[in-house]
């Protein structure tokens, strides 16, 4: 993998002028898929802090909507690609993560089906965030270090194409909804 990276960086030097940012991002996402998961986790932490720290109704509502979307997308990538491919690193821990995802998925689905203005939504959102923040902490501290010596490029490539398809499908669904 390292040779491949070196070769790529030589090409990148030659084409530096016309290399756009999205290409650079996709290259990193393939070789360092854990960085992509970590940046999703950071986004969730930031949005959770905004939701918890603000008293402005609109700000909280917007943060809540973004949280539901971010957690939904992140969970699909982990469940469909990352967990199955990394299961052999610690089967019991992956099974535990999958159980936690099911619980969070239920809460996310309930919240997506209700108005975020309802008083009950605050309690459910808070419960969901407690679970998610504990879960991502455990992924980072107890699971990711187990993957340090692995070649992550194959799973990175798969995660990236899964995410691209998911985003494409979500855009099509919201397009259809907007035309109705």
DSSP 69-114: HHHHHHHHHIIIIIHHHHGGG-HHHHHHHHHHHHHHHHHHHHHHTS
Least gap, CB of 14 to Fe ion (angstroms)? 36
> What residues numbered 137-156 form the site for Fe ion, per CB under 5 A?
139
The residue assigned the tokens 């996402």 is 29
Instruction: Lay out the site mask for Fe ion across 19-58 (x = CB under 5 A, - = otherwise).
Output: ----------------------------------------
For residue 150, give the DSSP letter: S
Task: Using the rule CB under 5 A, give the single segment among 8-16, 102-110, 135-143, 151-159 that binds Fe ion.
Answer: 135-143
Q: Which is closer to Fe ion, CB of 111 or CB of 136?
A: 136
Question: What is the C-alpha separation between 68 and 52, in angstroms, rounded?
Answer: 15
Query: What distance lies between CA 36 and its chain's CA centroid?
Result: 7
Does 78 bind Fe ion (CB under 5 A)? Our answer is yes
Residues in contact with Fe ion by CB under 5 A are 78, 139
């Amino acid at each position: 993998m390292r040779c491949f990276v070196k070769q790529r960086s030589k090409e990148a030097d030659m084409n530096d002028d016309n290399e756009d940012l999205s290409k650079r991002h996709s290259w990193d996402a393939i070789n360092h898929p854990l960085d992509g998961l970590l940046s999703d986790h950071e986004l969730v932490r930031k949005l959770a802090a905004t939701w918890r720290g603000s008293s402005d109704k609109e700000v909280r509502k917007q943060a809540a909507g973004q949280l539901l979307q971010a957690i939904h997308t992140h969970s699909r990538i982990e469940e469909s690609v990352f967990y199955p491919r990394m299961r052999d690193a610690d089967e019991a821990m992956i099974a535990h993560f999958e159980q936690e995802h099911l619980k969070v998925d239920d809460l996310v689905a309930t919240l997506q089906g209700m108005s975020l203005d309802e008083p009950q939504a605050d309690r459910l959102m808070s419960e969901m965030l407690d679970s998610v923040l504990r879960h991502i902490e455990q992924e980072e501290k107890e699971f990711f270090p187990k993957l340090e010596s692995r070649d992550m490029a194959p799973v990175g490539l798969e995660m990236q194409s899964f995410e691209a398809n998911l985003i494409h499908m979500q855009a099509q669904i919201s397009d259809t909804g907007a035309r109705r």
